[in-house]
Amino acid sequence: MGHYRGRVTEIRFDLNRHLEALIACPSRAVPHAGQYLLASDPDDPSASLGSSLFLAGQTVQGFWAVPSMPVAWKPGTTLNLLGPLGHGFNLPANVQRLGLVGLGYTLARLMPVIQHFTATQGSMTLFSDLPLPEAPAALEAYPLASLVDALDWPDFMAFDLPLERLSELRDILKLAGTRGLPCPAQALVTSPMPCAGMAQCGACALPARRGWKLVCEDGPVFDLQSLKW
Ligand code: FES
Protein backbone atom coordinates (compact mmCIF):
# COMPACT_ATOMS: atom_id res chain seq x y z
CA MET A 1 0.00 0.00 0.00
CA GLY A 2 1.25 3.48 -0.79
CA HIS A 3 0.28 7.07 -1.54
CA TYR A 4 0.35 8.03 -5.20
CA ARG A 5 -0.74 10.79 -7.55
CA GLY A 6 -3.04 9.93 -10.43
CA ARG A 7 -4.89 11.78 -13.17
CA VAL A 8 -8.19 11.14 -14.90
CA THR A 9 -7.43 10.95 -18.60
CA GLU A 10 -10.71 9.69 -20.03
CA ILE A 11 -14.31 9.15 -18.95
CA ARG A 12 -16.76 6.74 -20.60
CA PHE A 13 -20.13 5.14 -19.99
CA ASP A 14 -20.49 1.39 -19.74
CA LEU A 15 -23.38 -0.48 -21.39
CA ASN A 16 -25.63 0.43 -18.45
CA ARG A 17 -24.65 4.13 -18.48
CA HIS A 18 -22.38 3.88 -15.44
CA LEU A 19 -19.28 6.04 -15.52
CA GLU A 20 -15.85 4.48 -15.87
CA ALA A 21 -12.62 6.46 -15.70
CA LEU A 22 -9.19 5.86 -17.17
CA ILE A 23 -6.71 6.74 -14.43
CA ALA A 24 -3.08 7.40 -15.28
CA CYS A 25 -0.91 6.38 -12.35
CA PRO A 26 2.27 4.49 -11.44
CA SER A 27 2.01 0.78 -12.15
CA ARG A 28 2.56 0.04 -8.43
CA ALA A 29 -0.73 1.79 -7.68
CA VAL A 30 -2.84 -0.33 -10.02
CA PRO A 31 -4.97 -2.71 -7.92
CA HIS A 32 -5.12 -6.42 -8.72
CA ALA A 33 -8.47 -7.89 -9.71
CA GLY A 34 -10.78 -7.46 -6.73
CA GLN A 35 -8.57 -5.01 -4.82
CA TYR A 36 -9.38 -1.31 -4.67
CA LEU A 37 -7.83 2.13 -4.43
CA LEU A 38 -9.10 5.03 -2.36
CA ALA A 39 -9.13 8.07 -4.64
CA SER A 40 -9.90 11.68 -3.80
CA ASP A 41 -9.68 15.02 -5.57
CA PRO A 42 -7.45 17.28 -3.44
CA ASP A 43 -9.03 20.35 -5.06
CA ASP A 44 -12.53 19.38 -3.95
CA PRO A 45 -12.92 20.21 -0.26
CA SER A 46 -16.51 18.94 -0.30
CA ALA A 47 -15.39 15.45 -1.29
CA SER A 48 -15.70 12.73 1.31
CA LEU A 49 -12.79 10.54 2.36
CA GLY A 50 -12.62 9.20 -1.16
CA SER A 51 -14.06 6.89 -3.78
CA SER A 52 -13.24 3.19 -3.90
CA LEU A 53 -11.97 2.33 -7.37
CA PHE A 54 -11.76 -1.23 -8.70
CA LEU A 55 -9.80 -2.52 -11.65
CA ALA A 56 -11.77 -3.05 -14.85
CA GLY A 57 -8.79 -3.31 -17.16
CA GLN A 58 -5.12 -2.47 -17.16
CA THR A 59 -3.52 -0.13 -19.71
CA VAL A 60 0.05 0.98 -20.35
CA GLN A 61 -0.52 4.25 -18.51
CA GLY A 62 -2.70 3.00 -15.65
CA PHE A 63 -6.11 1.36 -15.48
CA TRP A 64 -9.81 1.64 -16.22
CA ALA A 65 -11.59 2.15 -12.92
CA VAL A 66 -15.11 1.30 -11.78
CA PRO A 67 -17.67 1.79 -10.32
CA SER A 68 -19.41 5.09 -10.91
CA MET A 69 -17.19 7.93 -9.85
CA PRO A 70 -17.99 11.49 -8.81
CA VAL A 71 -19.56 13.35 -11.71
CA ALA A 72 -17.21 16.24 -10.94
CA TRP A 73 -14.26 14.19 -12.17
CA LYS A 74 -13.22 15.17 -15.66
CA PRO A 75 -10.26 14.43 -17.91
CA GLY A 76 -7.41 16.31 -16.26
CA THR A 77 -8.66 15.94 -12.68
CA THR A 78 -5.73 15.05 -10.44
CA LEU A 79 -6.30 12.49 -7.71
CA ASN A 80 -4.70 11.44 -4.47
CA LEU A 81 -4.57 7.64 -4.47
CA LEU A 82 -4.14 5.32 -1.50
CA GLY A 83 -3.67 1.61 -1.99
CA PRO A 84 -3.94 -0.95 -3.38
CA LEU A 85 -6.21 -2.00 -0.51
CA GLY A 86 -7.85 -5.27 0.48
CA HIS A 87 -7.60 -8.82 -0.78
CA GLY A 88 -8.22 -9.57 -4.45
CA PHE A 89 -9.04 -12.69 -6.43
CA ASN A 90 -6.51 -15.49 -6.11
CA LEU A 91 -7.40 -18.32 -8.47
CA PRO A 92 -5.62 -21.65 -7.92
CA ALA A 93 -3.23 -22.53 -10.75
CA ASN A 94 -5.00 -25.81 -11.56
CA VAL A 95 -8.44 -24.37 -12.40
CA GLN A 96 -9.70 -25.78 -15.70
CA ARG A 97 -13.38 -24.87 -15.74
CA LEU A 98 -14.05 -21.41 -14.36
CA GLY A 99 -17.61 -20.34 -13.64
CA LEU A 100 -18.18 -16.58 -13.32
CA VAL A 101 -21.32 -15.14 -11.78
CA GLY A 102 -22.28 -11.48 -12.09
CA LEU A 103 -24.92 -10.44 -9.59
CA GLY A 104 -24.11 -6.73 -9.37
CA TYR A 105 -24.91 -3.87 -11.72
CA THR A 106 -21.74 -4.28 -13.82
CA LEU A 107 -19.52 -7.08 -15.09
CA ALA A 108 -16.51 -4.77 -15.22
CA ARG A 109 -14.96 -6.03 -11.96
CA LEU A 110 -14.93 -9.59 -13.34
CA MET A 111 -13.24 -8.61 -16.59
CA PRO A 112 -9.68 -8.71 -15.18
CA VAL A 113 -10.33 -12.28 -13.96
CA ILE A 114 -11.61 -13.19 -17.42
CA GLN A 115 -8.58 -11.58 -19.09
CA HIS A 116 -6.21 -13.39 -16.73
CA PHE A 117 -7.88 -16.76 -17.25
CA THR A 118 -7.86 -16.35 -21.03
CA ALA A 119 -4.10 -16.94 -20.92
CA THR A 120 -4.66 -20.46 -19.60
CA GLN A 121 -5.96 -23.46 -21.53
CA GLY A 122 -9.08 -23.57 -19.39
CA SER A 123 -12.75 -23.09 -20.23
CA MET A 124 -14.85 -20.35 -18.71
CA THR A 125 -18.53 -19.60 -18.58
CA LEU A 126 -20.28 -16.49 -17.34
CA PHE A 127 -23.74 -16.53 -15.79
CA SER A 128 -25.41 -13.13 -15.60
CA ASP A 129 -28.38 -11.15 -16.82
CA LEU A 130 -26.24 -8.10 -17.51
CA PRO A 131 -25.27 -7.08 -21.06
CA LEU A 132 -21.89 -8.55 -21.94
CA PRO A 133 -19.12 -6.04 -22.62
CA GLU A 134 -16.43 -6.79 -25.18
CA ALA A 135 -15.02 -10.11 -24.02
CA PRO A 136 -12.59 -12.80 -25.22
CA ALA A 137 -14.06 -15.28 -27.71
CA ALA A 138 -13.27 -18.11 -25.29
CA LEU A 139 -15.90 -16.85 -22.85
CA GLU A 140 -19.33 -18.49 -23.03
CA ALA A 141 -22.19 -16.55 -21.51
CA TYR A 142 -25.61 -17.68 -20.27
CA PRO A 143 -28.49 -16.10 -18.34
CA LEU A 144 -28.26 -16.33 -14.58
CA ALA A 145 -31.13 -18.82 -14.46
CA SER A 146 -28.94 -21.37 -16.30
CA LEU A 147 -26.54 -21.54 -13.39
CA VAL A 148 -28.74 -23.80 -11.30
CA ASP A 149 -28.42 -26.62 -13.85
CA ALA A 150 -24.71 -25.99 -14.40
CA LEU A 151 -23.49 -25.97 -10.80
CA ASP A 152 -21.60 -29.23 -11.27
CA TRP A 153 -19.67 -27.92 -14.29
CA PRO A 154 -17.08 -25.49 -12.81
CA ASP A 155 -14.14 -26.61 -10.74
CA PHE A 156 -13.87 -23.05 -9.41
CA MET A 157 -16.27 -20.10 -9.27
CA ALA A 158 -15.78 -16.34 -9.06
CA PHE A 159 -18.69 -14.10 -8.05
CA ASP A 160 -19.32 -10.37 -8.20
CA LEU A 161 -21.76 -10.12 -5.33
CA PRO A 162 -23.32 -7.01 -3.81
CA LEU A 163 -23.55 -7.37 -0.04
CA GLU A 164 -27.32 -6.96 -0.07
CA ARG A 165 -27.64 -10.06 -2.28
CA LEU A 166 -25.65 -12.34 0.02
CA SER A 167 -28.81 -13.33 1.85
CA GLU A 168 -30.48 -14.22 -1.50
CA LEU A 169 -27.63 -16.36 -2.73
CA ARG A 170 -28.98 -19.67 -1.47
CA ASP A 171 -32.27 -18.99 -3.28
CA ILE A 172 -30.52 -17.87 -6.46
CA LEU A 173 -28.47 -21.09 -6.52
CA LYS A 174 -31.44 -23.16 -5.31
CA LEU A 175 -29.30 -24.83 -2.66
CA ALA A 176 -31.44 -26.51 -0.05
CA GLY A 177 -30.72 -26.36 3.67
CA THR A 178 -27.04 -25.99 4.45
CA ARG A 179 -25.86 -27.56 1.19
CA GLY A 180 -22.81 -25.75 -0.18
CA LEU A 181 -21.39 -25.29 -3.65
CA PRO A 182 -19.81 -28.36 -5.26
CA CYS A 183 -16.54 -26.45 -5.86
CA PRO A 184 -14.47 -23.75 -4.16
CA ALA A 185 -15.56 -20.18 -4.84
CA GLN A 186 -14.39 -16.66 -4.23
CA ALA A 187 -16.74 -13.68 -4.10
CA LEU A 188 -15.95 -10.04 -4.62
CA VAL A 189 -18.43 -8.53 -2.18
CA THR A 190 -19.35 -4.95 -3.01
CA SER A 191 -20.61 -2.60 -0.34
CA PRO A 192 -20.42 1.08 0.52
CA MET A 193 -17.06 1.56 2.23
CA PRO A 194 -17.31 5.08 3.66
CA CYS A 195 -14.12 4.87 5.72
CA ALA A 196 -12.24 2.18 3.79
CA GLY A 197 -11.11 0.77 7.13
CA MET A 198 -9.60 4.06 8.35
CA ALA A 199 -12.18 4.66 11.06
CA GLN A 200 -13.62 1.19 11.74
CA CYS A 201 -17.11 2.56 11.04
CA GLY A 202 -18.56 -0.93 10.60
CA ALA A 203 -20.75 0.10 7.65
CA CYS A 204 -19.35 -2.73 5.53
CA ALA A 205 -19.71 -5.55 8.09
CA LEU A 206 -21.00 -8.90 6.83
CA PRO A 207 -21.82 -12.16 8.58
CA ALA A 208 -19.14 -14.85 8.50
CA ARG A 209 -19.05 -18.42 9.74
CA ARG A 210 -17.10 -17.07 12.70
CA GLY A 211 -18.50 -13.70 13.77
CA TRP A 212 -18.39 -10.75 11.43
CA LYS A 213 -15.95 -9.56 8.79
CA LEU A 214 -15.35 -6.17 7.17
CA VAL A 215 -15.53 -5.90 3.40
CA CYS A 216 -12.96 -3.10 3.38
CA GLU A 217 -10.31 -4.95 5.40
CA ASP A 218 -11.02 -8.68 5.28
CA GLY A 219 -12.20 -8.57 1.66
CA PRO A 220 -13.44 -7.36 -0.67
CA VAL A 221 -12.77 -10.85 -2.08
CA PHE A 222 -13.75 -13.66 0.29
CA ASP A 223 -13.64 -17.40 0.19
CA LEU A 224 -17.39 -17.91 -0.16
CA GLN A 225 -17.33 -20.83 2.25
CA SER A 226 -16.06 -18.50 4.99
CA LEU A 227 -19.22 -16.38 4.84
CA LYS A 228 -22.62 -17.03 6.33
CA TRP A 229 -25.26 -17.22 3.60
S1 FES B 1 -15.91 1.01 5.49
FE2 FES B 1 -15.69 1.58 7.56
S3 FES B 1 -15.15 -0.32 8.51
FE4 FES B 1 -15.34 -0.85 6.40
- Least Cα distance to 221 among 14, 29, 32 occurs for 32
Q: pLDDT at position 46, please?
A: 65
Judged against a pLDDT cut of 90, whether residue 131 lies above it is answered with no
- Window from 18-27, 63-72, 95-104 with minimum mean pLDDT: 63-72
Give the CA dihedral 193, 197, 199, 204, nearest 10 degrees. Answer: 40
Ligand 1 pocket, mutate which of 48, 201, 213, 218 (most atoms under 8 A from CB): 201
Judged against a pLDDT cut of 70, whether residue 191 lies above it is answered with yes
* Mean pLDDT (the chain, rounded): 92
Segment 52-80 mean pLDDT:
92
Q: pLDDT at position 67, please?
A: 79
Judged against a pLDDT cut of 70, whether residue 156 lies above it is answered with yes
Measured from the Cα of 201, ligand 1's closest atom is 2
pTM for this model (two decimals): 0.93
Ligand 1 pocket, mutate which of 51, 87, 204, 222 (most atoms under 8 A from CB): 204
Segment 144-155 mean pLDDT:
95
Q: pLDDT at position 135, please?
A: 82
Measured from the Cα of 191, ligand 1's closest atom is 1
- Window from 42-46, 85-89, 122-126, 215-219 with minimum mean pLDDT: 42-46
Judged against a pLDDT cut of 70, whether residue 48 lies above it is answered with no
Distance (Å, whole) CA 193 – CA 191? 6
Q: How much distance in Å is there from the Cα of 121 to the middle of ligand 1? A: 38
Nearest Cα residue to atom 1 of ligand 1: 193
Residues with CB under 6 A from ligand 1: 193-197, 199-204, 214, 216
Judged against a pLDDT cut of 70, whether residue 90 lies above it is answered with yes
Name the more confident of 132 and 183.
183
State the chain's maximal CA–CA distance in angstroms: 53
